[in-house]
Amino acid sequence: MTLYHTIPLHIPQSVFGVIITLQTPQPAPFNLIMQERTFRQVGSHFAVGCEVRLFVARDVRYSMANFGVLTKYEDYTLYNFKIADYGHDDMLVQVKVQSLDRKAYTEAFMEADLRRDTVDFLGASPYIELQAYDEGVSEGIARWYRGDFHSHTTVSDGHATKAENDTMAKDAGLDFFHATDHTVFPTGWAATEGVSVLPATEITTPYGHFNYHFSTRSPFDGLPPVTPMSETTLLAFFHALSASNRRGLLAINHSLMPPWDMTLQDFPMTLCHTMEVITDPGYRTATLASAKALKVWSRLWNWGNDIVGIGASDNHFKKGEAYDGALTPSCIGIPSTYVLSRGNGLAALRQGFVEKAVSFCERGLPSMVFTDSAINGEHAGQNAVGRAVDLKEGELCFEWIGGAGYHQWVVDGRVVQSVPGTLSTFTFNQNDGAWVRVDVRDHTGRYIGSTNPLRFKSVTPRRTTWGEATQQRKLRGVLFDKDGTLIQFSDLWADATTTFIATLCDDPDARQRALSAVGIDDDGVRPGSPLAAGTLDEIAAVLCAVTGKDVDGHAMETVYGDYMTQHPEVIRPAGDIAALFTALKAQGLAIGVVSSDNHTLIEYTLDRLGVRDMVDGIYSGDRYPAKPDPTVVYKAAEDFGLDTEELAVVGDSPCDMFLGYYAGCAIGVKSDVSDEFLMRNNCDRYVETVDEVARYFSA
């Protein structure tokens, strides 16, 4: 980590506590670690904003979460570390230190409502008193219980009190949630009718955040404090925690979501039971982070590391609040994780969770059941390894209750079937792979949830680390979108479509309705509209419905083909495409073009650009499923003799980026019809012009 600031502090013995205020002129990340003169860590804190206040006292009860006490020493140092790919190199900070006596300090501390239930990472915390918790209901027949595995309150850095969090959980229809305030293990929680609150904590470190679920004992109790904080001492702590047999289950949180992503590369995956695949979907980088986590989750299952995947809100806010730049407000229960259990108490939920009877989604309940009567219709995840591993074949039924969009049957990490709607069956065979899972997506192709996999062929688990599981393959091929990426978009499609609609509609109002329906308005072509992202068949279907005229995809192909032949000047390159392709070929990369266009129109365009001979594969809308279906990525990898993770996808729309998630890298290009904010937050790399792509690969 790079150091932003080193702030020396002198705190005389006569001072009971200090309030340290740090301010910046614009929102920025504070990644703070405080040490005494012997380099013993006093505490750490992470926040994003314009101001942060630290409360540290001689009495641990009056130090904020994740901080210990002031010691006999009077000299301390506060460090502010830069987090990779987040924040500003020229971050300015003003520091104010208030040294207070006991009375003044405790009054300020109580007013800030920072009281906590127990001491934290730097000391021992007591066993939990289970009677302080609502043990929930116990039923004879298992059913799905809806919950959230990650939430915060004013006990750490949340905005809502415990009572407000309870109310929000009840209003959201949750049956349970885990109380995961930063490095604080709660010893009591007021009961809320119908909602079970489960003890947990978020182990918060500069190298990543980890939740500890389903334990009745603090993970910090009886273990050596992690001081000074380092990768070595943290790994030693996790090994000691695993060996302590306190029945808790360790989860990796928001693992690939900067600036809180996991960077502990040598972390052994054998120490981990759970990983968050989706975290707070409203956050600006959540879509990309979830797509990356989904690939890592699949890779771990392929290696025999059967990690349970969950969704979690990581909610820090009161109802209606959100991060700056968030797409939607954060809310407890979005996404929800469902556990098939005989109750919503700790023991019953833990049993269902260990059996992998778990699914998660932003909206609705995705579930997978056996249809074979010999299995008695029980959930596919329940006792999956013990019950299903010996089955040679069988039929599964998927249902997405309350969902909308489409779903994908995934075998060994590869989509084998995409199905519109919320219900389908699938026949699995042991010869086809080792495990099966169902992913659900909204109508745009954005990933929003999964069932947990069913393993029906056992493999020896591979001993691997987080660094190995997240290592990116070297890119050896690239797939380019055409319109808006290789050629300027509006010059061709808007002109040709406007001319064609004029032949269909004599009435000006009817023409305007048709133009609006396909996606043309006064500002040009709307991002995400049928004209911007649809196939020729989809554009034709819209025109047919609006105008009442008989229009089909073949007619549209003729329209656009004739227009390009008559007006070749509309094919305007978005950059020096010949030089770009020549540079990529010199680096040994295979090149493909993926477009919703028909094959003949793509070839004509490439001929006009003078690059047809450098293109190794064309994947058109009339021969392959429309983007973002992964079929074209699988076919290109096969044609080029590459792994899918050795391919990059370059495009100018979120649809192109969703396609890139099935490959190894998604590169976004600025264009006339792209939403720059969405593109920047949904791609691995964003470039202003397509010419910059060659420099990315050479680097």
Q: Are 547 and 584 in contact (CB under 8 A)?
A: no
Of the segments 353-357, 483-487, 577-581, which one has the largest average pLDDT value? 577-581
Chain-centroid distance of CA 540 in Å reads 35
Q: pLDDT of 433-472, one tens digit each? A: 999 999 999 988 999 999 999 988 888 999 999 999 999 8
Question: What is the per-residue pLDDT for 569?
Answer: 84
Q: Is residue 116's pLDDT more than 60?
A: no
Rg for the chain, CA atoms, rounded: 28
Q: What is the DSSP letter of 60?
A: G
Residue owning tokens 């008989």:
550
Question: What is the per-residue pLDDT for 90?
Answer: 61
Q: What value does the mean pLDDT take over residues 645-650?
A: 97
Question: What is the per-residue pLDDT for 571?
Answer: 86
Rounded distance, CA 690 to CA 652, Å? 10
Of the segments 238-247, 251-260, 580-589, which one has the largest average pLDDT value? 580-589
What Cα–Cα distance (Å) separates residue 593 from each residue in 444, 518, 579? 21, 24, 16
The continuous run of DSSP H or E covering 204 comes out as strand 201-205
- The residue with greater pLDDT, 374 or 91, is 91
Bridge partners of 19? 55, 98
Residue owning tokens 């670690």:
33
Give the DSSP per-residue string, 259-284. TS----TT-BGGG--EEEEEE-TTST
Q: pLDDT of 270-325, one tens digit each? A: 999 999 999 999 888 899 999 999 999 999 999 999 999 999 999 999 988 887 77
Question: What is the per-residue pLDDT for 123?
Answer: 35
pTM: 0.80
Q: pLDDT of 553-564, one tens digit each? A: 778 878 888 888
Q: Are 593 and 486 in contact (CB under 8 A)?
A: yes
The continuous run of DSSP H or E covering 468 comes out as helix 466-469
Residue owning tokens 């809100």:
313
Q: Is residue 485's pLDDT more than 90?
A: yes
Q: What is the DSSP letter of 130?
A: G
Which contacts (CB < 8 Å, 24+ apart) does range 57-62 have?
57/16, 57/17, 57/18, 57/105, 57/109, 58/16, 58/17, 59/16, 60/119, 60/123, 61/115, 61/116, 61/119, 62/17, 62/105, 62/106, 62/109
Q: Is residue 379's pLDDT more than 70?
A: no
Q: Is residue 424's pLDDT more than 60?
A: yes
As to burial, measured by CB atoms within 10 angstroms (0-12 exposed, 13-18 middle, 19+ buried), residue 603 is middle
Q: What value does the mean pLDDT take over residues 384-411?
A: 76
Q: pLDDT of 594-612, one tens digit each? A: 998 889 889 999 999 999 9
- The residue with greater pLDDT, 530 or 465, is 465
Q: Are 624 and 418 in contact (CB under 8 A)?
A: no
